[in-house]
């Protein structure tokens, strides 16, 4: 890792969608330099698909923000339902650390059951979740990480948390996605 401060980051979240929705789901990335919003990225991924890692890697790498980006943050390890992100592959593809943040510890038994019994390609997706490692508690949230230590993850969360335990790039991505998709944002990611 080049810079221990990790002050230039992109936080990703997905747009809300109805359970009955099939097809593509919009995702949004908020680009931050410190606590200043510098830009927005967006793309589409497949609902319950297998393209989120590739789409995010291409989106970031082909953006004008790539050169300065030091960290990718994700609002959970899956976007668009169960489109599970391979955080180690994403980190390697971008040569940047990846940090997954969750307000609550997920119920892994329920997730495993859903993936193995109801989701196409669920076995592969479950293996990606396992490969990401256990959810670790730090700075009031739960994280999974690739390319940074737990101590660095805690420092990043504390640096970017402003009035919430959720880092500002993820909070802003959540607000933007909800506001654009439904006409009004919800405060809590």
Q: What is the pLDDT of residue 162?
A: 85
Q: What angle do CA 95, 45, 182 make, to 5 degrees?
A: 120
Q: What is the pLDDT of residues 11-36, one digit of tens each?
A: 999 999 878 888 999 999 999 999 99
Tell me the domains of the chain and their CATH numbers.
Answer: 8-182 (3.30.2170.10)
Residue 1 predicted with pLDDT over 80: no
Position 189 confidence tier, pLDDT thresholds 50, 70, 90: low
Q: Which of 56, 63, 6 is CA-nearest to residue 33?
A: 6
Q: What is the pLDDT of residue 4?
A: 55
pTM of the model: 0.94
Give the span between the Cα atoms of 172 and 31, in whole angstroms.
10
Position 99 confidence tier, pLDDT thresholds 50, 70, 90: very high
Residue 3 predicted with pLDDT over 60: no
Inter-CA distances, 151 with 9, 96, 106, 172, Å:
17, 17, 21, 24
- CB count, 10 Å around CB of 66? 15
Q: What is the pLDDT of residue 2?
A: 42
Q: What is the pLDDT of residues 133-179, one digit of tens each?
A: 999 999 999 999 999 999 999 999 999 998 889 999 999 999 999 99
Q: Which of 131, 135, 149, 138 is CA-nearest to residue 88?
A: 131
């Amino acid at each position: 890792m080049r810079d221990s401060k990790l002050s230039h980051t992109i936080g990703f979240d997905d747009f809300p969608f109805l359970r009955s929705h099939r097809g593509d789901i919009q995702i949004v990335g908020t680009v931050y330099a410190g606590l200043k919003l510098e830009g927005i990225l967006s793309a589409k991924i497949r609902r319950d698909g297998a393209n989120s890692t590739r789409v995010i890697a291409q989106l970031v790498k082909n953006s004008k923000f790539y050169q300065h980006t030091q960290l990718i943050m994700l609002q959970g390890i899956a976007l668009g339902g169960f489109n599970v992100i391979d955080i180690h592959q994403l980190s390697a593809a971008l040569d940047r650390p990846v940090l997954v943040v969750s307000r609550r510890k997920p119920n892994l038994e329920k997730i495993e059951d859903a993936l193995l019994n109801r989701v196409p390609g669920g076995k592969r997706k479950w293996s990606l979740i396992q490969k990401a490692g256990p959810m670790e508690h730090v700075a009031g949230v739960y994280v999974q990480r690739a390319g940074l230590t737990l101590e660095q993850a805690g420092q990043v969360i504390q640096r970017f948390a402003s009035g919430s335990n959720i880092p500002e790039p993820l909070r802003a991505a959540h607000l933007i996605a909800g506001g654009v998709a439904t006409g009004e944002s919800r405060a809590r990611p």
